[in-house]
Amino acid sequence: MKRHRYLPMTAQDESDMLAVIGASSTEDLFADIPASVRYSGELPMSGALDEAGLLRHLRALSDRNADADRHVSFLGAGIYDHHIPVVIQHVISRSEFYTAYTPYQPEISQGELQAIFEFQSYICELTGMKVANASMYDGATALAEAAALASGATKRKRIVVSRAVHPEARDILRTSARGQGLEIVEVGCADGVTDLGALAAAVDAETAAVLVQTPNFFGCLEDIPAIEALVHDRRGLLVTSVNPLSLGLLESPGALGADIVVGDAQPLGIPMSLGGPTCGFFAVTEALMRRMPGRIVGQTTDSEGRRGFVLTLQAREQHIRREKATSNICSNQALLALCASVYLSVMGRAGIREVASLNLSKARYALGRLGALPGVEIAFPSPIFNEFAVKLPAGTDVAAFQAKLLAAGYWGGYDLGRTYPELSGHLLVAVTERRTREEIDGFVQAWEASL
C-alpha cells in the first residue's frame, strides 16, 4: 500500500532500491555529509494535508499576490500590462503548438515551422532588418548575444553600452562578457538619454559595438541617427534594443542604420506572468545573418514544387560547429513567438499603429496630470513613448508611498533609486492602452492623497 498518495513509490519500491545500491536505509545515503552541517530535527512545516486542504492552502498563498486583475498597473520597467486578444490563448492551446520543441524533421513539422517563419517575417517588417531568427529566450539575453556577435564580426573586444539600457540587461551583458573576454564600457546619461559627448569619447578604433535602448529604461527616446554616425565612423556596429510596440509609430531602427536590432516581444500579446517567461527577438543586416545566434526557418519548395519550410543555415549552430560556433544558443521560445505572431496578425498594420498611438497619448496625459501635482517634477525633458520618470517631493519615503498606492488599488511604478542611486526619490511610471481616463485620474488622486 502506498504511504503517500502523490508519490508513486511503495515501501517495497524503496526497499528494493536500497538493496540494489547496498544501503540499509535512506539515512545511509547522507553518511558522507558531516553531522555538523546537517540539519537535525524536523522542518517547521505543517502536517500532511488532504487534497481539499492543500488546494485551499495554495489558493490562500496565491491570493497574497497583487495581480493585475485586482489592481490597476502603472508598473513597467520591462514587463507591461497590455491587452491580449482572447484568440491568442485559443491558438496556442492547440497541442501541436504547445508540445512542439525542436522541429528538426521538417516533413512532420510544417505547422510549427510556418509559425516560426511568420514570426521572423513580422519581426523583419517591424524592425526594418533583412533577417530575423526564430526568437531568443528574452530581450536581455538577446542583447548579450548581440554583443558577442559584434565582437566576432569586427574582431574587436570593446563593447560600449549606455547606462540608460535596462539594468538587468546590463548585468546579463557583463556576466556573458566575462566568459568571452569582452571589455564592457558604460556611458552615462544626460536629460534621461545617452550622453552623446561621453559616448563620442568612449568610442574608438577598438570598439566592436555601441549598445543602446530606445525607448530606454527611463522611457525616453534616444537620438539614434546621431549615435549611428558616431559608431559607424569608427567602423563599429550599432545595436539597438527596442520596444516592438513603439515601432507602430517610430521609424524602424533598420532605416536609421542599426546593424543589429533586439528586444523583448512581451508587449505583443505575451502575459506578464509575474515577470516571465517572455520572448526575445533578434534581427540583423544581410551581411551578419550567418553569424546570427539561434535557429532560422527558411522557405523552400519540395520535389513537387509545393511551398514548404525548413531549418536553414544550421552550420552556424553550436551542435554542429562545436567550439567554432558563433553562439551557444540552439533553442528558442517558439510558443511565445507564436503569441506574438498571432497578436500581430490579429492587430494588423493599422491596429499596431492605433495601439501605439493610444500608449503615447495616454502616457502624455498621465505625465501632464502627475507633473501638475504640488512638489512633483517631471524628471527628464526628452520625448517619451509610454513610460516616464517623475521626481517625488523631497523627503518622500518611496517604499511607504508605494505601499499607500497599493492599498488604494494601484501598482504605482518602479523605484529608480533601486538601480540608480542618483535617482533616489524618482518613480518610473508606465501607461498602456489598457488604462482608461478614469483609472489615470484615480491614480493621480491616489498620488495626491499619498504624498
pLDDT in tens, 379-422: 999 999 999 999 999 999 999 999 999 999 999 999 999 999 99
**For position 1, what pLDDT does the model report?**
43
Interior/surface letters 405-433, b for 16+ CB within 10 angstroms, e for the rest:
beebebbbbbbbeebbeebebbbbbbbbb
**For position 170, what pLDDT does the model report?**
98
The structural domains of the chain, with segments of one domain joined by +, span: 72-83+348-450, 86-342
Q: How confident is the model at residue 75 (pLDDT cuts 50, 70, 90)?
A: very high
Q: How confident is the model at residue 251 (pLDDT cuts 50, 70, 90)?
A: very high
CA distance 247 to 400: 36
Q: Is the pLDDT of residue 314 over 90?
A: no
- The 10s digit of each residue's pLDDT in 84-112 is 999 999 999 988 777 666 677 777 888 88
Residue 397 has φ and ψ, to the nearest 5°, of: -80, 105
Closest CA to 192 of 35, 29, 383, 32: 383
**For position 103, what pLDDT does the model report?**
75
Stronger pLDDT, 66 or 264, i.e. the higher one: 264
**For position 2, what pLDDT does the model report?**
47
Q: Is the pLDDT of residue 319 over 80?
A: no
**For position 5, what pLDDT does the model report?**
59
Task: Say which CATH class 72-83+348-450 falls into.
Answer: alpha beta
Residues 313-339: what's their mean pLDDT? 80
Stronger pLDDT, 97 or 339, i.e. the higher one: 339
Name the pairing type of β-strands 207-214 and 158-162. parallel
pTM for this prediction: 0.89
Q: How confident is the model at residue 7 (pLDDT cuts 50, 70, 90)?
A: low
Average pLDDT across the chain, whole number: 93
User: Rounded to whole angstroms, what are the CA distances from 50 to 44, 46, 102, 348?
Assistant: 18, 12, 39, 49
Q: Which of 58-67, 165-174, 356-365 has the lowest mean pLDDT?
A: 58-67
- The 10s digit of each residue's pLDDT in 123-162 is 999 999 999 999 999 999 999 999 999 999 999 999 999 9
CA distance 402 to 414: 9
Architecture label for domain 86-342: 3-Layer(aba) Sandwich (3.40)
Compute the C-alpha angle 160/165/170, nearest 5°: 70
CA distance 67 to 332: 28
Q: How confident is the model at residue 369 (pLDDT cuts 50, 70, 90)?
A: very high
